[in-house]
Amino acid sequence: MKKYLYEAIGPDGRVTKATVAALSVAEAHAQLTRSGYTDIRIRNDDLLHTDLRGSNDPKIAAAMIDSAYSSLAFMMVKAWLRGWITWLPGLLAFIAGLWFALSFLVWTGAALLLLAIVLIFMASLPAAAYQQVLLARANRSYARGLWWLGILRMAKPAGISAMMLDAEQAKLLAGLGRIDEGLALFTGHANDTDLVAYLTQLQAIHDTVGERAKQIDIQRQLLVVSGNSIEARVDLAWSLMRYTSDYDDARRLSAGIEPNACSALYAAGLRVVRALLLQVDGKHDAALAQFESVYAELRRYNSPLIDFTCRELRAYMALSFKASGRIAEAEALWQQEMPHMCAHHCDMLIARYDGI
């Protein structure tokens, strides 16, 4: 049993953001449906790292959901969830600073306000540094990412495991052409009890440098280790559609999966897989409608990694525009996104576009 973040329309017609205890995403969705909720979105995604065990406060759940869309909310909720010792001194200093300032003790008030800013900054530093690491990786600024990762390690972030930190370092090293060094660091976690998390990060390291055969091989291992989980099926199907011509296997993997059985981001990934299948079947109008729908949903997220996915969706839209004879629209999109596709080793997509 674990807790899932969700947002939905409650029986009273109001938007509810809270947690629900269930064995799986599908069970959580079914449980909420039985209770009269509609328009249900399970929000436990890779973008939300905080452990929810022991937390029943709906305000915290709402803040965590909103944090996926707002970097400021993300930093503040991370500071809040770390405990009172990280935010109460800053709050007290801020209140005292205002009181002294209003009492015309300007210098004392200013000093306390400065102290409050420093304390709040230190409390939110881990989340801010982690965002910078992701941004550097998305922009291929790997050396800058290593610098921010060093700050993140010194901040000793709660909720981010040693495996996750080493995985980020391995990805950054791989991006700098030092993949053997990165793998040597990360494979020290090979005996970790969470083999699914280990393999998930290992395939992402190979993804960084465009080693698609190794990436997909690890994803196939992940499918077995995870017990043929929905998440592993969606991930593998998406990789097969993006990096190979094994469309039949991708179709088989994604068949029969209900979006309600996935968290929000995996449901979006499933829709992308199905849009790509429509595209290779020559059904470009239907594919475009699906791409545009997913793009509109994902661009609300405040995440560097989601930003790249949105760019990739625009590149696939350009492909369908070109195949449909809408050359001007295709070229306008493609010229914007092609440099990013080259930088992130999207060779199959580039070849498909050039081959039309």
Torsion angle in degrees (nearest 10) through CA of 103, 105, 107, 112: -50
| pLDDT tens digits for range 123-162 | 666 777 887 888 899 888 999 999 999 988 887 766 678 8
- Cβ-contact 270, 257 below 8 angstroms: yes
Q: Return the domain boundaries, the chain.
A: 1-68, 262-356
Greatest Cα-to-Cα distance within the chain, rounded to the nearest angstrom: 74
Taking residues 154-181, report their average pLDDT: 88
Map residue 9 onto helix, strand or coil: strand
pLDDT of residue 154: 83
Mean pLDDT of the chain: 83
pLDDT of residue 128: 74
pLDDT of residue 218: 97
Give the number of other CB atoms < 10 A from CB of residue 333: 21
| pLDDT tens digits for range 315-327 | 999 999 999 999 9
Confidence category of residue 38, pLDDT binned at 50, 70, 90: confident
Q: Rounded CA gap, 352 and 321, in Å?
A: 13
pLDDT of residue 134: 86
Give the number of other CB atoms < 10 A from CB of residue 143: 10
Which stretch of 68-77, 110-119, 233-242, 304-313 has the lowest confidence by average pLDDT?
A: 68-77
Taking residues 210-232, report their average pLDDT: 94
Which stretch of 5-19, 164-178, 200-214, 290-304 has the lowest confidence by average pLDDT?
A: 5-19
pLDDT at 213 over 90: yes
| pLDDT tens digits for range 262-282 | 888 899 999 999 999 999 999
